[in-house]
Amino acid sequence: MNALPSLNGSVGYIFTSCNLDVKGSGDVRFKDMVDRFKVFDQPRKPEGKEEEWLAGERVDTRDYLLYGRIYVPTGRLDALYSTRITPTLQGMVAAISDPRAPISLENSKGHGPASNIMFSLQQDTGKWCTEYTWSAEDGMWGVRSLYNFGKVGSAPESDGDKAGHTFAGRRSGLKRVDEEEAMEGGLRGRVSVGGEFYFSAKEKSAGVSTGIRFTTVPDATPPSFQVPTSSSSSSPSSPTPRPPPSQPPTTITALFNPMLGHISGAYAARVSRDLSLASRFDFNVYSYESEWSVGAEWWQRRGKVHHPPLPTEDSLPSVPAAISVSDLADEVQGVVKAKVSTTTDISLLWEGRLRNVLVSLGVVSNLTLSPERSSTEIKVRNVRNIVYKHGDGEEGCTEHWREMTQESWT
């Protein structure tokens, strides 16, 4: 629900054959609910679901997802259907129906209510990822692909494999990324290159764009939190704080559209535990127009928590109280995002949790004399978070390409 500048909201529905991790807005991990700067782990080839057999016949079905969302008071309806055809191939159908078409569109072309349906076919092998799309509204065909240099991460171990190995055995089998790809000085990371091409027969237009991205690698593969330290090896039940990264998480991105003459470069890094900075420069070689933007992201954590009095011998807790107190002191309560550009635009956003409600409060302002660029938005979310895991490749190459083309800050 959005309170300002106008009261509006939406109601959604989701149904899937996969397991859902449903959490309320009061206990969901806050960082999973907001857009933030993050560095993904190494890409991995998606793994298929385990086969199920009954009386000599395979009875497991193909995974699928159904999603719908209606907006009020506009009445716009979004729908999506996705299914995993093979472990590395996924099909998707998305549709949009808006009964209130823009006035300019109705007057210029005489079209009725705006609606569209789009078909997508995605193939992800870890090293390569390709997506083919077709849009019915403008008859547009598109293809985009991404290639990841370097090694592809191995598939995560199943529960059965984990049970058959000790902590020491798993630790000896894992290699740190900085040991596998040792370099003298500088940042250790991986490079990804991608491109997309689209053509519309109805509009008689086409477009092409390319991109390259460098991102630092995590300290270990699989992710660092899965690799036990020496202290956790001796006492698996005791939590161990994650050490700081050996190098600052960094992402450098460059995009180029030769037909439009648009060049964009972005640099983002986490300079401290709770502070991330980003900068982006856009330039057009035809019009010589340019824009430089700077953004920051600062996480707010709960302040010092007073330790409770020591319990008596008759009321000793089963879990050490210091663990829960430490977790409370380290809990993220909110995030502040700010953005300033040379076009005199200033954006400020705060997102946080107030009891069991997630609240977003932001201001967008333009320093010029024209007042129509200024706006204020208040968003209140009291919904349940649903994490949908479609196989083991939900963070494959396609998501990496989408992350490459998005801004590094809000």
- The predicted pLDDT at position 101 comes to 60
- Cα distance between residue 386 and residue 19, in whole Å: 10
Is residue 173 assigned to a domain?
no
Q: Is-contact 45 393, C-beta < 8 A?
A: yes
pLDDT in tens, 243-273: 666 788 999 999 999 999 999 999 999 999 8
Residue 404's closest CA among 255, 281, 259?
255
If you average pLDDT over every residue of the chain, what do you get? 75
Residue 162 lies in a domain: no
Q: What is the mean pLDDT of residues 229-251?
A: 58
The answer, yes or no, to whether residue 85 has pLDDT greater than 70, is yes
Q: Which of 157-161, 171-175, 269-273, 342-346 comes out lowest in average pLDDT?
A: 171-175
Q: Residue 240 falls within a domain, yes or no?
A: no
Residue 234 belongs to some domain of the structure = no
How far apart CA 397 and CA 263 sit, in angstroms, is 23
**Domain-embedded: residue 41:** yes
Instruction: Answer whether residue 238 is part of any domain.
Output: no
In a domain, 210, yes or no: yes
pLDDT at 376 over 80: no
Statement: residue 357 has pLDDT above 90 = no
pLDDT of residue 114: 76
Domain that holds residue 332: 2-49+59-152+186-228+246-308+319-405
Has residue 314 got a pLDDT over 70?
no
Distance, in Å, from the CA atom of 400 to the CA atom of 136, rounded to the nearest integer, reads 26
| Closest to 134 measured CA to CA, from 143, 123, 146 | 143
pLDDT at 251: 93
pLDDT band at 325 (very low <50, low <70, confident <90, very high): very low
| Main-chain phi, psi angles of 8, to 5 degrees | -155, 165
φ, ψ of residue 356 in degrees (nearest 5): -110, 20
Continuous segment of H or E residues that includes residue 177:
helix 177-180
Q: Tell me the pairing of strands 262-270 and 53-54.
A: unpaired
What CATH number corresponds to the domain at position 220?
A: 2.40.160.10
- In DSSP notation, 22-71 reads EE-TTTS-GGGSS---------B---PPPP-EETTEE-----EEEEEEEE
First to last CA, the chain: 19
How many domains, the chain? 1
| Any domain includes 72 | yes
Query: Can you give the pLDDT at residue 317?
Result: 52
